[in-house]
Homo-oligomer: A and B are copies of this chain.
Amino acid sequence: MTMHKPAATRNPPDGGHSSNGRILVAAEELFSAHGFAAVSINDIALRAGVSKANVFHHFATKNALYLAVLRRAQRDAAAHLHSLEQDTGPLPARLASFSGKHLLRLLEQKQLSRLILRELLAIGPDRARELAENVFGENFRHFVLILRAGQQSGELRSDLDPAVMATTLLGANVFFFEAQTLLRQFWDVDFADSPERFTTTLIEIVLHGICPIPRNVQEKFRPAVGSTDSSTPGVPARRGQKRRQRPH
Contacts and interface: CB of A to CB of B under 8 A. Distances in A.
Interface of A: 33-38, 62-63, 66, 92, 114, 117-118, 120-129, 131-133, 136-137, 140-141, 144, 147, 151, 154-165, 167-168, 170-176, 178-179, 181-186, 188-191, 197-198, 201-202, 204-214, 217, 220-223, 232-236, 239, 241-244, 246-248
Nearest to A216: B217
Given A117-B121, A124-B241, A157-B212, 13 more contacts: A62-B248, A114-B121, A122-B247, A127-B246, A133-B185, A147-B210, A151-B235, A157-B213, A159-B233, A167-B179, A167-B198, A168-B172, A214-B217
Say what secondary structure dominates the interface of chain A. helix
Contact of A124 (B62, B159, B162, B242): B242
A210 B37 contact: no
Contacts of A248: 62-63
A8 B127 CA distance: 40
A161 B201 contact: yes
B137 A186 contact: yes
